Amino acid sequence: MSVVMEGALADLGAWKSDHCSLVKALEVVGTRSALLILREAYFGTTRFSGFASRIGITDRAAAQQLRHLTEAGLLAKRPYREDGGRTRDEYVLTDMGRDLFPVIVALMQWGDKYLQDGTAPLHYVDHETGVPVHVELRSKTGDVLELEQVGVRKNPAWRAGKQAQQPNTAS
């Protein structure tokens, strides 16, 4: 089963996915180290040395990914200074980075279900009640949707927005 491609999208050969948001997202977070740095940021890591050591990557790789995620807007630098030390930067999640959290949890839950030996190493719970939480696909009316219940169609507002961004060349 698959999603239902609607309208002009029903003919998969008639359209190109060159503006696909998934492609754009993967350009930002599509590497193992980027996803693991985000995981660590969600877990509370903020210092450069913490990211590199907890993930098990070189300082150079950590610096490159932290720079990339900062330039992309998922992390922001915030100066700090320990007593007697020089000012350094720590890395904190931005709203853009925080909004990616459900995606990371969904990937972890998928890994728990299909890649672990029957027992998940971590449980996500409501901090106040301890009730388990999970990620699922819901409509705006609150209905849980299965794959074949989802339709995909072109968004006319996206095309109108793209045309509005084009400079007017007619005089």
Per the domain annotation, does 77 fall within a domain?
A: yes
Tokens at 12, concatenated: 């998969």
Within a domain: 12 = no
Q: Is residue 71 part of a domain?
A: yes
**Alpha helices (H) along the chain:** 21-29, 32-42, 48-55, 59-72, 95-99, 101-115, 156-165
Residue 1, domain member (yes or no):
no
3 state SS of 47: coil
Whether 162 maps to a domain, the answer reads no
Per-residue pLDDT of the chain (171 residues; tens, 9 = 90+): 899 999 988 888 877 777 889 999 999 999 999 999 999 999 999 999 999 999 999 999 999 999 999 999 999 999 998 899 899 999 999 999 999 999 999 999 999 999 998 799 999 999 999 999 999 999 999 999 999 999 998 888 887 776 666 655 444
> Global pTM?
0.86
Displacement of CA 60 from its chain's centroid (Å): 23
**161 located within any domain:** no
Task: Tell me the C-alpha distance between 164 and 160, whole Å.
Answer: 6
Number of domains in the chain: 1
CATH of the domain at 104: 1.10.10.10
Domain enclosing residue 70, as ranges: 20-155
